[in-house]
Structure 1
Amino acid sequence: MTVEGDRAVRENSRKYSVLKKIARDYAGERVIVMGDMNAHVGMLGEQMNRNGEMLDEFVNEMNLENLNETLAEGRVTWCARNQESAIDYMLVNGRMREIVDSMWIDEDEMIDIVSDHNMLVLECKLNGRDGTNAKVKKKKWRLRDAGWENFQVDLSERRWEDEILNGVDELNDRFVENVKNAAASQIGYVRTSARKHKSRPWWNDEIRDARKKKKETE
């Protein structure tokens, strides 16, 4: 979302209108709304700003849950110039909440994402129809030592809007397509083989041990 100001209110109102349509159209599915909302809702003791009010109104109207407030381990999502803020959020609907195990914010910057924002991590359980863990074979992104700067440049240079696009659904499809293609080009996948092989993406034993030690000292 755009930062504060009269222009920001107008732009963000249009953006929330798009998000509301998507949330309504997919109300029967598992929905996650996440990103940099530039919204202060008082999580760090600060005064709620207009973006925070708009975020709160959106959450209540769409009957979503703000996991930053109800579940997350950690609060600070942005840190720069000796300042800290909570401006990035993860919102879920009821169906999505059913499979959420935990959420944490990388306040200690254990994962380098080449940004002044901290990574938000959502851990979910994926079950089959019979309640057992579903074995889904899918490609894994090579997130460890990923070229995030190249990814950002690649993503910014892709086509986003033209006269061919017609409506919110096509714009959303274009967004998903661009993100996937930029990631495939600049990040790539972890190689897998027929035999069992433990890959080492960004979530590894080093990060797991560091988080365990942090919890023990709290």
Structure 2
Amino acid sequence: MMDLGRGKATELVLPGTPSSPGPPPRDLTGAPQLKTALNIGTLNLRGGFESKKFELVERANDFGLDVVALSDVRVKGQIEDSLENYQVFLSGVARGRANWGVGFLIHKNLESSINCHRFVNERLMWISVKISGDIYRFVSVYSPCEGAVSERLDDFYSDLNDVIYRRGSEKVILMGDLNARVGRNDPNFANILGKFGEDSPANNNGKRLLDFCQSSGLIISNTFFKHKKIHTYSWENPGQNQKSLLDYVIIEECLRKSVMNTRVNRSFGMDSDHYLVASKLCIVKSRINSYRKPSNILRVNRLKDENVAREFVDILEAKFSDLNDNIVSDIETEWSLFKNTFLGAARECLGFVRIKNDRKKTDWWNDVIKAAVKEKRVKWIHWMQNRTEDNWTSYKEQRDIIK
């Protein structure tokens, strides 16, 4: 991820690789850093965002990810939120059942560098981030499946083409579940496709994707780095012994030398049949200051106590009683008096809690839940390494405890 607190350039290794002992350090001091790694990734959640959001942001933070493109988030409408160290952007269906959906997690180190964002539809959105003079347009996608109605695929690529075509001078990084098998080492797409994709030939969706990349000056970074097969396939159906590469990090050709690695990280986990595809870019970054002045938040949760609520009402009535003698000439003055009186009573009765960096706190996401989630992750890894019935049952029992 972005390490902004060091005085010279350092190379970061993606978590999960042999040369990486653990997640890279995160420094939020805002000190200048001229050149280092930008860690990005994409994941199909398979099951929606809401039930997995706290575990997701914790894992993203542990893995040092700066930008995460999400698919199958299953939300309605457009959502912008702040969750721990990440800004959340989700684009879902306008009406009807909450199917599909795409989105982003953007680390707060990059928050001040967000230029703009657009919610296109439930299969496409993009966000532009300015990094040291250059603007990077991150595009999150979720393509229709192989065999879907051709009109849907045509509409998807028409919308995607519009987003890429109108990028101007922005550098494109396209991530998501393309539901496409592109094969590898095809001489007809030598500049787009590397030697290290999956062995299966391209399907219809894959050919459509390759044609689109060729016409848009994009390359499929997954296929340019040699890894074990388990770090190549992003989707797996163990029950039917099926696996494939469906999730991609696709970049402009001019960024080819900036990509240091792209691979699957199976240990990320998230109760999905898809795995995280992570990519590390080495780029020049701006001097971002992530520090925010701590803010004071009223302790409104104290109103659940009947005695405190009664005291608050008494104080409020006394203060409003004192206002009766005031003659108000206009609505603005009246509103100002009302607001100041109400807040004054709240400050006097409830008090404040100090929140650093505007990080939202969630009562139920505590150390006990975190420990249970961590145990679930350990059992998931055990099952991945040794797929016995006992390991699967143990994992399911732990998963049910958390639910």
TM-score normalised by structure 1 residue count? 0.55
Give the Cα–Cα distance (whole angstroms) in 2 for the partners of residues 101 and 125 of structure 1.
Answer: 7
Please state how far the C-alpha of 1:96 moved relative to its aligned partner.
3.7
Give the Cα–Cα distance (whole angstroms) in 1 for the partners of residues 154 and 215 of structure 2.
Answer: 14
Give the Cα–Cα distance (whole angstroms) in 2 for the partners of residues 48 and 186 of structure 1.
Answer: 46
More strand by share: 2
Alignment-derived partner of residue 65 in structure 1: 219
* Mapped contact 1:67–1:89 kept (Cα < 8 A): yes
Please state how far the C-alpha of 1:105 moved relative to its aligned partner.
1.2
Give the Cα–Cα distance (whole angstroms) in 1 for the partners of residues 277 and 361 of structure 2.
Answer: 21
2:189 is the counterpart of 1:48: no
Alignment-derived partner of residue 2 in structure 1: 144
Change (3 A) 1:27 1:78: farther
Render the CA deviation track for 1:136-156: whole Å, top value 9, x for unaligned. 2348xxxxxxxxxxxxxxxxx
Give the Cα–Cα distance (whole angstroms) in 2 for the partners of residues 93 and 64 of structure 1.
Answer: 4
Give the Cα–Cα distance (whole angstroms) in 2 for the partners of residues 114 and 60 of structure 1.
Answer: 34
Alignment of 1:121-132 (within 5 A): 121-128=278-285
Question: Is the deviation greater in 70-79 or in 9-18?
Answer: 70-79
Please state how far the C-alpha of 1:98 moved relative to its aligned partner.
4.8
* Mapped contact 1:104–1:122 kept (Cα < 8 A): yes
**2:155 alignment partner AA:** R
* Mapped contact 2:249–2:262 kept (Cα < 8 A): no
Alignment-derived partner of residue 270 in structure 2: 113
SS, match of residue 163 in structure 2: helix
* Mapped contact 1:72–1:102 kept (Cα < 8 A): no
2:252 pairs with one of 61, 68, 93: 93
Give the Cα–Cα distance (whole angstroms) in 2 for the partners of residues 6 and 110 of structure 1.
Answer: 31
Please state how far the C-alpha of 1:97 moved relative to its aligned partner.
3.4
Change (3 A) 1:62 1:72: farther
SS, match of residue 125 in structure 1: strand
Alignment-derived partner of residue 145 in structure 1: none
SS, match of residue 212 in structure 2: helix
Alignment of 1:20-59 (within 5 A): 20-42=161-183, 43-59=197-213
Render the CA deviation track for 1:142-185: whole Å, top value 9, x for unaligned. xxxxxxxxxxxxxxxxxxxxxxxxxxxxxxxxxxxxxxxxxx98
* Mapped contact 1:29–1:95 kept (Cα < 8 A): no
**2:268 alignment partner AA:** I
TM-score normalised by structure 2 residue count? 0.31
Please state how far the C-alpha of 1:54 moved relative to its aligned partner.
0.5
Query: Which residues of structure 2 form unaligned runs of 5+?
Result: 1-142, 184-196, 292-358, 363-403
Give the Cα–Cα distance (whole angstroms) in 2 for the partners of residues 44 and 97 of structure 1.
Answer: 20
Pairwise CA RMSD of aligned residues? 2.6
SS, match of residue 110 in structure 1: helix
Q: How many residues align?
A: 135
Give the Cα–Cα distance (whole angstroms) in 2 for the partners of residues 78 and 90 of structure 1.
Answer: 14
Identical pairs, percent: 24
Alignment-derived partner of residue 17 in structure 1: 158
Alignment of 1:159-178 (within 5 A): none
* Mapped contact 1:72–1:103 kept (Cα < 8 A): no
SS, match of residue 279 in structure 2: strand
